[in-house]
Amino acid sequence: MTSERFDQLLGALGERRPFHPFTVELIGGHQFEVDRPQAMVVRDGMAVFLRPGGVPVWFDHESVTQIVADIADASR
């Protein structure tokens, strides 16, 4: 995934109103659910998501294999 597409996609998912959680899958199969838009910062192809308890997950555009959002929610 390009850096620009990564920023664009995560930005759009984070700005949906109402917000709907989405899943990020990384190379190696590790997955996590972004459950709050305020818990993630995205910039220049890099991102950090703060899991419950403040545990950070750092990831970048090269480490993402897919981002799974509920397609039905995207049209609302």
3-state secondary structure of 4: helix
- 41 forms beta bridges with 48
Is 70's pLDDT higher than 70?
Answer: yes
- All domains in the chain, ordered by first residue: 3-74 (2.30.30.100)
Are the CB atoms for 49 and 37 separated by under 8 Å? no
Is 1's pLDDT higher than 80?
Answer: yes
Are the CB atoms for 36 and 42 separated by under 8 Å? no
Share of the chain above pLDDT 70, in %: 92
pLDDT in tens, 9-35: 999 999 999 999 999 999 999 999 999
Q: β-pairing, 46-51 with 31-34?
A: unpaired
How many Cβ atoms from other residues are within 10 Å of residue 10's Cβ?
24
Q: Supply the pTM of this predicted model.
A: 0.84
